[in-house]
């Protein structure tokens, strides 16, 4: 029997509740049991659950069916939608289908280029960019497709976007933030935050915009992961003292990563509207992080 979500992300944001969202990668295959087993423990404890869309251009099961399965558990899914794999026809079709299946949140992303993934010869689409997708979703919400044709039943999506608050220089990112707001973005989930003071400066700059911002909390499993991120992910800067803390923890590095995540959540909480917790290969620690950070 289908269960309606216990709480909707949109309602939490509108009420001014400090929102908590988490993230799952669909399986590379059809075994969805581990994701659903983990998600069952968190029903009622989070306001939204993101499902990635072939993140890092690595082939996985689709975001939409996993979103529906999470919806049936009682979660409010956030369907990620990248521009890499679909043209505007396929996007609109998937979005209308998502609405039929109870999905009400869309995170619009550009998507990593295929050469970084596991099917390097795949042809990218990029018919639209993420800003154009937000405009497309606005149109569907208003009852029109991208060509201006009237729909027999409109969609009702909360539109999300991504931002990198620790980008250096910050100016171009702030300009892009404003463009996304004008294109219809209602909430932002940020790239990983490791420097709360710098994040506070970013939040001060974007507060004039009437949108909600959820700080990205990416759980570090070990020092090697932190060093890889510093070297390969633009706009992410893990401080050296955190790397040293992870190294000193030895075989308890994952526990140190959880403590860093909890500290960061508490530090950013006064400045933003919520947190988006990304526990890559460590989803078994989500419940711990939520409890230790006193999020629910």
pLDDT in tens, 10-34: 999 999 999 999 999 999 999 999 9
Name the nearest CA neighbour of 49 among 100, 107, 92, 95: 107
Q: 274-293: per-residue pLDDT in tens?
A: 999 999 999 999 999 999 99
Question: Mind listing the domains of the chain with CATH numbers?
Answer: 9-220+269-292 (3.20.20.220)
Collect the ranges in the chain with pLDDT lower than 70. Answer: 1-3
Average pLDDT, the chain: 96
Q: What is the DSSP string of 247-281?
A: HHHGGGHHHHHHHHHHHHHHHHGGGSSEEEEE-TT
On the CB side of 98, CA atoms within 13 Å amount to 31
CA distance 163 to 276: 12
Q: Is the pTM of this model over 0.85?
A: yes
Q: 144-160: per-residue pLDDT in tens?
A: 999 999 999 999 999 99
CA distance 134 to 140: 10
SS3 227: helix
């Amino acid at each position: 029997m289908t269960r309606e979500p216990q709480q909707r992300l949109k309602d939490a944001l509108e009420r001014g509740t400090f929102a908590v969202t988490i993230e799952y990668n669909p399986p590379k295959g059809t075994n969805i049991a581990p994701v659903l087993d983990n998600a069952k423990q968190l029903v009622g404890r989070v306001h939204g659950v993101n499902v990635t869309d072939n993140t890092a251009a690595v082939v996985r099961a689709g975001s939409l069916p996993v979103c529906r399965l999470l919806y049936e558990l009682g979660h409010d899914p956030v369907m990620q939608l990248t521009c890499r794999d679909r043209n505007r026809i396929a996007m609109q079709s998937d979005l209308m289908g998502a609405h039929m299946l109870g999905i009400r949140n869309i995170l619009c992303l550009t998507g990593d280029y295929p050469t970084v993934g596991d099917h390097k010869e795949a042809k990218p689409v990029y018919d639209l960019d993420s800003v154009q997708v937000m405009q497309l979703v606005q149109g569907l919400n208003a009852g029109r497709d991208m060509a201006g044709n009237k729909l027999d039943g409109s969609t009702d999506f909360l539109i999300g976007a991504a931002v990198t608050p620790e980008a250096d220089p910050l100016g171009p990112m702030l300009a892009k933030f404003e463009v996304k707001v004008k294109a219809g973005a209602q909430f932002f989930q940020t790239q990983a935050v490791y420097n709360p003071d710098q994040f506070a400066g970013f939040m001060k700059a974007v507060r004039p915009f009437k949108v909600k911002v959820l700080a990205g909390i990416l759980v570090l499993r070990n020092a090697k992961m932190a060093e890889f991120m510093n070297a390969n992910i633009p706009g992410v800067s893990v401080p050296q003292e955190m790397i040293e803390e992870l190294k000193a923890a030895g075989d308890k590095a994952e526990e140190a990563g959880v403590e860093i995540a909890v500290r960061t959540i508490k530090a950013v909480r006064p400045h933003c509207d919520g947190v988006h917790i990304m526990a890559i290969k460590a989803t078994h620690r989500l419940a711990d992080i939520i409890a230790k950070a006193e999020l629910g």
